[in-house]
Structures are given as C-alpha cells and as structure tokens.
Structure 1
Amino acid sequence: MSSQARTELVLQRATFNTLIRPYLVIQVGFILAITVVGLPLAVLWFCGIGQWWARHYYDKLECELSNRTLRFRKGILFQVEKTIPLENIQDVTFIEGPILRQFQLTLLKFETAGQSQHAGNQMQLVGIVEAHDFRARILAARDGLRHGQPAAAANATDQQQAQLVLLTRIAERLDDISLLLKSTAQGQTASKPADENAPSPALPMTKP
C-alpha cells in the first residue's frame, strides 16, 4: 500500500435526492417523444421501463470526497466511474435550471484542465443533497491541499483549538471556585475568636 493510500481520509459521502427518479423518467421520455423513431419507445418508457431504469440508476449513484480525491460512479449499462485528484479540479460549476428547480434538484459539473466536451458531460452529477455545501467542501479541500494543509488536518486543528478554549474556560471557573472557597473558610476562621472573646451576658440580680 502506498503512502498516499494510507493517508487518504474520507471527508464526506454525498447523498442524492429521490426526486432524481421522476426527473430522469420525464427527461429521457421527452427526448424520445420528440423524435418520430423514438415515439413508440417513449410509450413503453412511460409505461414502466423508465421507472425501472430510473430506480436502478438512483441506487447505483455514488460520490465520495476524500482529502486527496473526488470519486463518483453513475450509470447502469454503461457505467462511468471517475477518480479526480483534487489538485486537478479547476472549478465546480453549480447549475440550476427551471426544470431542475421544479424537482428541487441541482447539477454539479466538475471542470478539470484540458478536458474534452465529451469528458465534461460525463463529469457531472445531478441531485446531490445540499449541493452548495458539498461544492464548498470540494473547493476547500482542494485549496487546502494546494497550500500544503489537507482539509482533514485543518479540521483537526480547529477541533484542537476549540478543545483548548474549553479547557481554559474550565480552568478559569475552577480558579474562581477555589478563591470563593478560600474566602469563605477565612471568614469562618476570623469569626470564631470574636465569638469566644465576647462577654457573657450578665446574670440578673435577685433581692434577698
């Protein structure tokens, strides 16, 4: 096992919106319906084949971000599986058209240096839940790797700083409690001699 494989750490696994399934059924069915040759296939598509295909397509979707790479897989008959080194990612384009908005979906397109148009069509995913946050994490991990500080190390540093702040606050509260206990004990000690030196109450005089 190489040193790179040993140090690779999964940062996030993407989850996908279930509305991908009806969106794909309508999208592919519309493409078939606008052609004379595909019109009979569109009827079969909407009668059940499309639902079956969309369900299996959704089940096979995967996308995983590590501190060094972005890996995703999609497709049924023709599967596309890509592992993109983070330093090769130039940008992650966020696309949200009117049809996608109707299904509450977004499309992320991963742009790398020197990619062809065909490769660009393959390097895109639709339906990632919280796509804005996932895009931000990809770019943050890429920038951290380029500057020599992987995202996992940066997250660990932030956690250590938060723990240090918490421990400092606990120590301060313990010091306050210790001072309060000392002052209370000193006050009790100082009050005891005063009580002992106080004159005893005079006894009432009785007549013979």
Structure 2
Amino acid sequence: MSSQVSPNAQAIKASFNPLIRPYLVIYGAAIFVITVVGIPLAIIWLCGVGQWWARHYFDKLECELSETSLRFRKGILFQVEKTIPLENIQDVTFVEGPLLKMFNLSILKFETAGQSAGQAHDMRLIGLINAHEFRHHILMNREKLKHAHNVNASSQQSADENTILLRAILERLEIISTQLGPRE
C-alpha cells in the first residue's frame, strides 16, 4: 500500500489516484447532460471549469487512519473534515462501477452508528490507492479496538466483582467481631 507512517503513532496516511481528476470532470459533465438544461453548463464545465475544480479538489483530499479513528478532509468551497471513531464504524463498503473501473478507481462508503440518511453523502471516499488494503486496515484496527475494550470491560467487571466480594467479607468480619464481644 502506498502510505506513510507517522513517527508518533501507527497512523497510515492514504494516497489518492490522480485519475480521480478526469473521472470527476466526466462525472460532472454527465450530471449536467442528464438534466438536459445543463448541456450549456456541461460545455463550460468541459472547457476548463471542471479541470480547475477537479485539480483543486484532488489537492485538498486527505485521509489518515490512526489506531482509534479515521480522519478525512475534502472539498473546495465547502471543506468537510471528519474524524470518525473506529468503534462507530459499522461497515466499510467497497464500490466499483463501469465509469470507476475505466479510471481504475473505487469508492469506500462508511456506515456509522447513529448515521442518518443525510450524512451518507459525506461518508465516502473516492479514488484511494489500494482501497481494498486500506479497507482491511480500517476493519482490522476496529477489531483491535473492540478487543481492547472487551478486555478492559472484563477486567473492570472482575475488579467490581472483587470489590463486592471484599465488602461482603468485611461485613462478615464485622458481624463476627460484634458476636465475639469487646476485646479487653
């Protein structure tokens, strides 16, 4: 996987395929053409506006996976920066379509706990290099985190059980002490 590891932590910085730029230009033009009234806009889009937008969009893309969260940033006019705790990620879906395959691209969609339908649009990344491997890292880190929480919860439960047991022993000792009477 083409990634960089930060010296401080085990963070993986994802790389994006530069072919996302022509994909975004063609995708945007297709959206304009489908609306029929957008055909003049599609011509303007293809004559330069789309290339400018796609280049700047690509330059702003960032994605970093740490041991506990996934942080990504995208957008030009409206920049979106999200940090998703791995424990909230329910599933990571890998999507490929005919146009995406033509550009050797894919989409990773994130389903999170408590996600509403309106948030689904922001929860996707297009054009990650080695998206399958990055998805595997996300799911693996999520499982490590869940396992660590389970171990901590069971050790906390064990500590709580020990506290209850010690309190019960203390109560019995106090009863025995009162039954024996005062010491002289």
What residue number does 2:37 align with? Answer: 37
Alignment of 1:30-69 (within 5 A): 30-69=30-69
Alignment of 1:17-36 (within 5 A): 17-36=17-36
Secondary structure of the structure 1 residue equivalent to 2:100? helix
With normalisation by structure 2, the TM-score equals 0.74
Distance 1:66 1:14 in 2: 11
> How far is 1:116 from its partner?
1.4
- Per the alignment, residue 123 of structure 2 pairs with 123
Which residue is 1:74 aligned to?
74
User: Identity, % of aligned pairs?
Assistant: 64
The equivalent of 1:83 in structure 2 is 83
1:147 and 2:177 equivalent? no
Match of 1:15 in 2: 15
Partner of 1:195: none
Distance 1:78 1:37 in 2: 25
Secondary structure of the residue that 1:110 maps to in structure 2? strand
**Cα shift at 1:10:** 4.1
**Structure 1: runs of 5+ lacking an equivalent:** 1-7, 150-208
**TM-score of the superposed pair, with normalisation by structure 1:** 0.66
The corresponding residue for 2:103 is 103
Deviations 1:49-98 (A, max 9, x none): 10000000000000000011100011101111110001011110000111
Alignment partners' CA distance in 1, 2:10 and 2:147:
19
The 1-side partners of 2:41 and 2:120 are apart by 28
In structure 2, what is the Cα distance between the partners aligned to 1:29 and 1:10?
40
Q: 1-side partners of 2:148 and 2:38: how far apart?
A: 52
The Cα of 1:36 is off from its aligned counterpart by: 3.3
How many pairs align? 142
Pair member with larger Rg: 1
2:83 is paired with a residue whose SS is strand
Extract unaligned runs of 5+ from structure 2: 1-7, 150-184
Supply the distance in 1 between the matched residues of 2:109 and 2:60 (Cα, whole angstroms): 19
Residues of 2 paired with 1:36 and 1:96: CA distance? 26
1:131 to partner: Cα distance? 0.5
Task: Provide the C-alpha distance between the structure 1 equivalents of 2:76 and 2:37, rounded to a whole number of angstroms.
Answer: 23
**C-alpha distance in 2, partners of 1:11/1:45?**
37
Whether the aligned pair in 2 keeps the contact of 1:10 and 1:64 (CA below 8 Å) is: no
Q: For the residues of structure 2 that align with 1:29 and 1:50, how far apart are their CA atoms? A: 8
Match of 1:135 in 2: 135
Q: Indicate the RMSD between aligned Cα atoms, in angstroms.
A: 1.3
Q: Distance between the aligned counterparts of 1:59 and 1:52, measured in 2?
A: 11
